[in-house]
Amino acid sequence: MDTQPSATEAYPETADIETSSDDYATRFRGASGAWMLAVQTRLTRRLLAGVPRGSLLDVGGGHGQLAFPLADDGWQVTVLGSAAECRHRVAALADAGRCVFTVGNVVDLPYPDGHFDAVVCFRLLTHCDRWPQLVRELCRVSRGPVIVDYPTSQSLNALAPALFAAKKSIERNTRTWRLFRHREVDEAFAAAGFQVRARLKQFALPMVLHRALRTAPISRLLEALCRGAGLTAWLGSPVVLRADRR
């Protein structure tokens, strides 16, 4: 069953409307895109290992990149989006009764404290101007772990601003985004009463390179070499982070 208000106010942060669109999904089309999403899913499942399956909130998760696999894992998934159109890519899941879709404000979540057993939020921190407030809300409504992703400047992404024009020519639908330092993310979670427990890094090489290559086996080989050389642990991005209440 979905819960949607009859009239949605203009929320201050609505970046997830774009990331929930079909156009955004083209960034992960083909075998290379499927491989990149598989890496994200594998690391997320790793961070959730050992957590009893229960209720899970996916904030800004209308892209469906985690809602489907986590529902398959037995989580009772609720996807919160900033507008009704964010339901489109998770409609099959919602229509089958395998998740609940809710329209709401991502920086003022419509749930009481500690309402969910786990909370995830992907593709949102980097585009959210009020990201510390978003972190506080994610932590407030979780009685278990909070898992987010973010790109870090402590990686080859530090070159991204200088290469933005080239990136846009390859991806076409790319947007400006914020790069984080690990310490500032840690401090935001600490301010919300949470402590970072684990930080897993997805790729040593920029994702735009893998999109340009369009060959999953080559990308997989390059990343395996980087992992073996310790480059991923040192310079990997985006980061998948788990934090737990102190």
The whole-model pTM stands at 0.89
Q: Would residue 2 count as lying in a domain?
A: no
Percent with pLDDT over 90 in the chain: 83
3-state helix, strand, coil split of the chain in percent (to 5) is: 45, 20, 35
Q: Would residue 154 count as lying in a domain?
A: yes
CA proximity to 3, closest of 79, 72, 66, 106? 79
Q: Is the pLDDT of residue 171 over 80?
A: no
Q: Would residue 235 count as lying in a domain?
A: yes
The H helix count followed by the E strand count for the chain is 11, 7
More confident residue, 214 or 158: 214
Which helix (H) or strand (E) segment holds residue 203: the answer is strand 194-203
Q: Would residue 7 count as lying in a domain?
A: no
From CA 72, how far away is CA 81, in angstroms rounded? 20
pLDDT at 177: 81
User: Count of domains in the chain?
Assistant: 1
Q: CB of 101 within 8 A of CB of 77?
A: no
Which whole number is the average pLDDT over 109-117? 98
Note down the domain range covering 109.
16-245
Tell me the CATH number at 38.
3.40.50.150
Q: Would residue 1 count as lying in a domain?
A: no
Span 54-111, pLDDT tens digits = 999 999 999 999 999 999 999 999 999 999 999 999 999 999 999 999 999 999 999 9
Q: Would residue 25 count as lying in a domain?
A: yes
Q: Would residue 186 count as lying in a domain?
A: yes
Classify residue 10 as exposed, middle or buried by CB count within 10 Å of its CB (0-12, 13-18, 19+).
exposed
Q: Would residue 9 count as lying in a domain?
A: no
Confidence of residue 161 (pLDDT cuts 50, 70, 90): low
Q: For 45, phi and psi rounded to 5 degrees?
A: -60, -35
